[in-house]
Amino acid sequence: MTSHAGRLLLSLLTVLFASQEVRGDEGMWTFDNLPLGILKTRYNFAPDQAWLDHVRMASVRVPHGSASFVSKDGLLLTNHHVAHGAIQQVSGEKNDYLKNGFVAASRADEIKIPGYTAQYLVSTENITGLVEKAVMAAPSGTRKDLLRAETIARLVAEENKKSGLHCESVALYQGGEEWIYRYKLLNDVRLVMAPEFGVAAFGGDWDNFTYPRHDLDMTLFRVYENGKPFHPPHHLTWAEKGASFGDLIFMVGHPGNTNRLDTLAQMKFALEEVVPFRLRNQGRMKKAYRRHASQGPAQAMEVSQQLMSAENFFKVFEREWAGLKDTEAMGRVAEAEQELRARVAENSELKAYAGDSWNKIEEALQLRRTFIKELFTVNTRGSVLFELALHLVRLPEELAKSPHERLGEYRDEKTLQATRTRLEKEQARRPEEEVREFTIGLEEALEELGAKHPFVEALLEGKSPADAAKDVVARTRMHEASFRKELLEKGTKAIQESKDPFILLARTLDPMNRTLRKAQEGVRAVISEHAARIAKARFAVYGKSKFPDATFTLRLSFGTVSTCRAMGTLLQPFTTFGGLFDRADAWGPEAENKSWALPQRWRERRHRLDPSTPFNFLSTHDSIGGNSGSPIVNRKGELVGLVFDGNIDSIPGRYYYDERVNRSISVDARGILEALEKVYDASHLVTELRRD
């Protein structure tokens, strides 16, 4: 951070204020900077502070997603796919709650999820000024990036102590602003109700990102404190009536990560390097798993999940790539950047501070371009045994350093312990599986880097990928936990002298991989500094007319229950239970790896359900991964839905919001109640939700 920054902050008000267009219902807005003008003008809606506090404090963050309090006794509503790991964690062979679903008949039957936490945002504070002040006060010669990080860490630690809350720093606008967010942390979360995976993810990976959709993607937890149900200060009541087509509704949750404020050069890099690599990578996976599956039904079964997952990732990257190639949408991105650059160039102060930042980022990316393939490829190539060997090689060396000098994965004590446990106890995969996965990884290295690359030469030793993988797996002892434990105990010398083929490969890989990571860190530091400069220049020119990129912190999106043009028609704004059975009937229970097979309970209780009950709905909200589980509320702040996905055209939402086609998909609150009552006989839960 240069000394320009201080002057820049002061000059904010003196620079011409203008605003760049927000498209349609675009935006994942922070609560300190809500689009109140748009809401008032477009929808004649002016929420008061009580409304804002209510929806904010009823919204909850859980691992990998969002949630909301939905009863005064601490019922917490989130998605099944967000709760997936937690449900799996408390399942066993005899009680497979993922497959069979779960309903606690009473509170006594609710199942605690060890280690699972939930938190809601109590308050926030902008510490940008404090951080700048500390950094500017430092004597010249100080490493300002380190000082900056230390200052933030100190402020967070102070806040933790002072508030008694769980505090975190948040960098908004690529570092243009620094905040402290204070959360109430809750550690006792119990499973109350989860539907069967077959109806929560009806349509399986095929239907991921699709609409029309028919998923009961919900789970109910209950939060406890001191062994008793937690009474949240705010919880959402269930709307008497659901939302209708065209109604203004709100999503309050934690979008994970977007790249909308990236420079055009960064998007171009994604277009030309990152996404194509991922497509090639998933394409190879698809090919390899198809090849394996073609050997017979048993082999097809073995890799059915991997194949489906590769198909799904391929689909996502394909759409992301198409989005980056969309000349109209990317043209708008380019135009906005050109305009900002022109405005910055007009002002001598801004020009000196950030005028060259776009070029600096582009130069850093040119550098990254020279090693990006290796960065993606010079690693343990899908082999678990290779990965364990690399840990064995690195662990002693890393532990000898002070934590902040170590590679990231060896800093935190908890992670270190997990790695030690893996080394000492992890059961190896079947050798055929290990060989299969390693072969795919070797094929990729060969194709991406070429036979002459030293890493590839070391891996293959002139053999074919399949032969090399077979050979190494046959000769290694890394699959023996006792062998690894012994090496670990004997320490550096024994490891260095080991002739185990995976240890030898790890010793070749280690320095190469470190060099690449170092180069990548250098590039990142440049991008980070200049992205923050651009962000501040943007404030100076436009003010805070834009929302920051998603950071897995609380945001509000607005929008309406909507339709969308697709396949020559308009997509229906809602789906119903009738539509769920339509698809199940149309495909039958066996098609496409049982993707559209309904659980038995649903087949048996089909006649109990009102087929016209709204089940899922489409809306114009701007959302992205992390938003999963966010509540959807109406103008009264009442619950009308639970978001769980975006449509296929929402995938380029990482880079831009296209109001014509970007849509979110939610479970309708009415569908949840109907299912709880008619399919799960959970009228006690319905009573609790309705009463509250």
Q: Which residues bind its own copies (CB under 8 A)?
A: 203, 206-211, 245, 315, 319, 566-570, 572-576, 578-579, 581-583, 585-588, 591-592, 596, 611-612, 614, 647-648
Which lies closer to its own copies via its Cβ, residue 318 or residue 692?
318
Which lies closer to its own copies via its Cβ, residue 160 or residue 210?
210
Minimum distance of its own copies from residue 101's CB (angstroms): 23
d(CA 153, CA 149): 6
Which lies closer to its own copies via its Cβ, residue 493 or residue 607?
607
Minimum distance of its own copies from residue 667's CB (angstroms): 15
> Amino acid identity, residue 562?
S
Positive or negative: CA dihedral 545, 550, 552, 557: positive
Distances (CA, A) of 453 to 136, 304, 447, 448, 450: 46, 33, 11, 10, 6
Cα angle 502, 369, 549 (rounded to 5 degrees) comes to: 100
d(CA 512, CA 78): 43
**Tokens representing 534?**
């651009």
DSSP 651: G
Positive or negative: CA dihedral 645, 580, 563, 571: positive
**Cis-peptide, bond into residue 212, ω within 30° of zero:** yes
Minimum distance of its own copies from residue 248's CB (angstroms): 18
According to DSSP H, which parts of 63-139 are helical?
80-90, 97-100, 128-137
Which lies closer to its own copies via its Cβ, residue 507 or residue 670?
670
Which lies closer to its own copies via its Cβ, residue 64 or residue 214?
214
Which lies closer to its own copies via its Cβ, residue 43 or residue 587?
587
Minimum distance of its own copies from residue 592's CB (angstroms): 7
Asked if 557 and 38 touch (Cβ cutoff 8 Å), the reply is no
Which lies closer to its own copies via its Cβ, residue 424 or residue 582?
582
Which lies closer to its own copies via its Cβ, residue 283 or residue 611?
611
Minimum distance of its own copies from residue 23's CB (angstroms): 22
Pick from 170, 610, 530: nearest CA to 341: 530
Give the other-Cβ count within 10 Å of 570's Cβ.
11
**Cis-peptide, bond into residue 114, ω within 30° of zero:** no
Minimum distance of its own copies from residue 587's CB (angstroms): 6
Asked if 647 and 212 touch (Cβ cutoff 8 Å), the reply is no
**Tokens representing 320?**
């992301």
Asked if 358 and 265 touch (Cβ cutoff 8 Å), the reply is yes
Minimum distance of its own copies from residue 607's CB (angstroms): 10
Residue tagged 């016209």 (tokens): 612
> Amino acid identity, residue 447?
E
* Strand, coil or helix: 611: coil
Minimum distance of its own copies from residue 209's CB (angstroms): 5
d(CA 296, CA 375): 36
Which lies closer to its own copies via its Cβ, residue 573 or residue 629?
573
Which lies closer to its own copies via its Cβ, residue 177 or residue 645?
645
Minimum distance of its own copies from residue 574's CB (angstroms): 4
Which lies closer to its own copies via its Cβ, residue 430 or residue 565?
565
Minimum distance of its own copies from residue 254's CB (angstroms): 24
Asked if 214 and 203 touch (Cβ cutoff 8 Å), the reply is yes
Which lies closer to its own copies via its Cβ, residue 190 or residue 213?
213
Minimum distance of its own copies from residue 310's CB (angstroms): 14
Minimum distance of its own copies from residue 568's CB (angstroms): 4
d(CA 345, CA 531): 16
Count H helices, E strands: the chain? 29, 20
> Amino acid identity, residue 392?
L
